[in-house]
Amino acid sequence: MAFDSWHAFLAMGGHAAYVWSAYGVTLLLLAGVGLHVRLERRQLWRRLQRQARREQRPVRRAQEGRSP
Amino acid sequence: MMWAFLHKLASPQGFYALSARLSPWCWGLAACLIGGGMIWGLGFAPADYQQGNSFRIIYVHVPAALLAQSIYVAMALAGLVFLVWRVKLADMAATAMAPLGAGMTFLALFSGAVWGVPTWGTWWQWDARLTSMLILLFLYIGVLALRGALGTRQSAARAASVLTLVGVINIPIIKYSVEWWYTLHQPATFSVTSRPAMPAEMWLPLLVMVLGFYCLFLAVTLTRTRHEILRREASRRWVQALTGEGP
């Protein structure tokens, strides 16, 4: 551990504003990437299923049994 | 056999199956490496004797900057494969990686600016490295805007590939900017051929972060290329056969 206490860790030797803003924006960006990919996936699947229902194709498991 | 494997991989269906198998591992590995690397770099790596704790910004700045350039090169290679051999999958991959590349370029610029305040006394200067990275951000935005405006048409793919390939000239400029015009940004801290100029406690967490970011790149590209297949090939029978299985 490079710090003596939690307080020292949070203070970052007076550089708290710089260190925490850089890491904060990094975490926000990474969370955003994860969320975006997840939402995109759900939206695409909804669209495919709507399309299947519209064309009155049975919405069922694939014959080959391969998972997507 | 190698050729048959490549051929299967370049087909959307073959790629889809392989990607679905690989991507969960990439996501998991990326989460572990980035999470571990961040804790290591923030709490356990020693502070720099000159810069103090602001030095810890290196653990997000360097991986972001590396990825920003690597993703661009990967996008340009995909663009070349698409233009020369008309492999649709290559264009789908290029589409899939562009937003992450733009995000990483922004992150490199932001973390660099924040690091610059305590280290250089300024958050921005028209230094060659900083300027060429800003141009990289504009190139990414240009590619994204072009695709956004033209949708999934063939013309969008061609225009975006050409723009990406023209912009690749910026990559060696970024790389050598710190040697050709050494004004503010210091030259590369690490190289493949020589020993790192810092103790292992300092560069090991950086290595973990860099590996984690590359895993993330792989995970995002594999997953979003699959999305791009679902988007563009929705009328294919094999894609339709996937419905009903859920996401």
Measure A6 CA to nearest chain B CA, in Å: 10
| The predicted structure's pLDDT at residue B198 | 83
Span B24-50, pLDDT tens digits: 999 999 999 999 999 999 999 999 888
Length of chain B: 247
* Rounded mean pLDDT, A12-41: 96
pLDDT given at position A62: 43
* Numbers of helices and strands, H then E, in chain A: 2, 0
Rounded to 5°, the CA angle B154-B5-B216 comes to: 65
Which residue is listed with tokens 């991959």?
B93
Q: Do A41 and B227 touch (CB under 8 A)?
A: yes
> Which residue, among B192, B187, B163, has the nearest Cα to B174 in the 3D structure?
B187
Which pLDDT belongs to residue B118? 92
Answer yes or no: is pLDDT of A32 > 70: yes
> Higher confidence at residue A57 or residue B82?
B82
- In chain B, domain spans: 56-234
Do residues B89 and B15 lie in contact, with contact meaning Cβ atoms separated by under 8 Å?
Answer: yes
Among B65, B58, B170, which Cα is nearest to B107's? B65
Residue in B133, B131, B146 with CA at minimum distance from that of residue B183: B131
| Residues 115-174 (B) with a CB less than 8 A from some CB of A | 115, 117-118
CA B141 – CA B72 distance, rounded (Å)? 12
Residue B157 · residue B82 · CB < 8 Å = yes
pLDDT given at position B245: 59
Specify whether the backbone of B33 is left (phi greater than 0), alpha (psi in -120 to 50) or beta.
alpha
- Mean pLDDT across A18-41: 97
Which stretches of chain B score pLDDT less than 70?
Answer: 1, 192, 244-247
Who among B38, B44, B47 is closest to A23 (CB)?
A: B38
Q: What is the three-state SS of A20-52?
A: HHHHHHHHHHHHHHHHHHHHHHHHHHHHHHHHH
| C-beta atoms of B243 and A52 within 8 A | yes
pLDDT of res. B244: 59
**How many CB atoms are closer than 10 A to CB B187?**
11
* Per-residue pLDDT tens digits for B179-206: 888 778 888 777 767 777 788 889 999 9
DSSP state of B46: P
ipTM of this complex prediction, to 2 decimal places: 0.90
